[in-house]
Amino acid sequence: MGMDALGGDGGEPPVLAASERAAMVRRIEADGAFAADPGWMEAFAAVPRHLFVPYYYVSGSRGYERRWAGSPDPRSRERWLRGAYEDVPLATRVRDGELISSSSQPSLMALMLAALRVGEGDRVLEIGAGTGYNAALLSYRLGEESVTTVDLDPEITESARRHLAEAGHHPAVVTGDGARGVPERAPFDRIIATCTLTTIPRAWTAQCRPGGLVLAPLATGLVALTVHDAAHAEGRFLHTPAYFVPLRGGGRPEPEPVPLGGVPPRARESDLFRFLLTLTRGALDPQAAYALWEREDRPGRERYGVTVDGEHVWAWLDAPDGPYAWALPEPLAPEPVAAQGSDPGEGPDPGEGT
């Protein structure tokens, strides 16, 4: 593959990138991820993912291998470009052996965006800026003035802002604790998190309009909550598994691993049992979780849900007032929110964040 086809000047590789992007969209469509909202297909076909991953890391026999757009070897650049359009998550930032940030699997991103059920004029807050790719997809669909993305790490927000600008999008990119939302940009119609949680922060329901939707990774699933008012929300999990980097900030330590002594191997190896065990951490010991799992015929994720009621948040199986309910960790108190009638355009300069 020659330099011209790969775009040696750092611009978009016009031939290979377009064909790889089209192939990625076909794979996502074949998986059914666009089924709930086919309108996202156009965004994925238009937004160049490779601009958001100028380098990434892949695991190899000698540890992580770095692939990057600036390699002097044309074959290495081709591997980088083709890899950017694989339907896999890409590790983009590693610190002291810990994965800090990644570009999520495109088909999972498509499924989540479709589950948001966005409409014209909706304002969206994304928790976890990552590379900026998801914010670019949202900006393409809804307009950059309707999109805010926040991340705790200033290096991540700086690079996300740069990637977005290179792709022609300028949503609000904010440096801050995602658990506290972005009160100066509220209210929002949709909140989508791209980092896993142990509970639902109170700030998110407080900053979402009544009738809005919060979509968040919790345990190893995705819960879609309909917001009733600032303190109340409820909804079920989607059927799909979801694994994300944990939300940093919020003042909460990472949970310790749960010992599985006494649990049969078939349960230990089951993704659905591990989901139940993670969701009920601190409320059910592994043996009690296993007994429930077998008694209820090994329930899928879609049978579980979450209720937010003021300061109390709990997960449940089948019904919020049913026999199976487990308290989740107490969420942080929200920051003050601007009046609901305030100008939604007020707030920091979308190009600068805070």
Question: What's the mean pLDDT in 209-230?
Answer: 97
Q: So which residues are the catalytic ones?
A: 101
Give tens-digit pLDDT for 129-140. 999 999 999 999
pLDDT computed for residue 1 by the predictor: 37
pTM of the model: 0.87
How big is the chain by its Cα radius of gyration, in Å? Answer: 21
What are the tokens at 186?
């509220």
Residue spans of alpha helices (H) in 191-243? 202-206
DSSP 3-state of 68: strand
Give tens-digit pLDDT for 225-240. 999 999 999 999 999 9
Query: Higher confidence at residue 94 or residue 169?
Result: 169
Give tens-digit pLDDT for 80-108. 999 999 999 999 987 776 667 789 999 99
**What value does the mean pLDDT of the chain take?**
87
Is the C-alpha dihedral spanning 104, 106, 111, 112 positive or negative? positive
> Can you tell me the distance from the alpha carbon of 113 to that of 148, in angstroms, rounded to the nearest whole number?
15
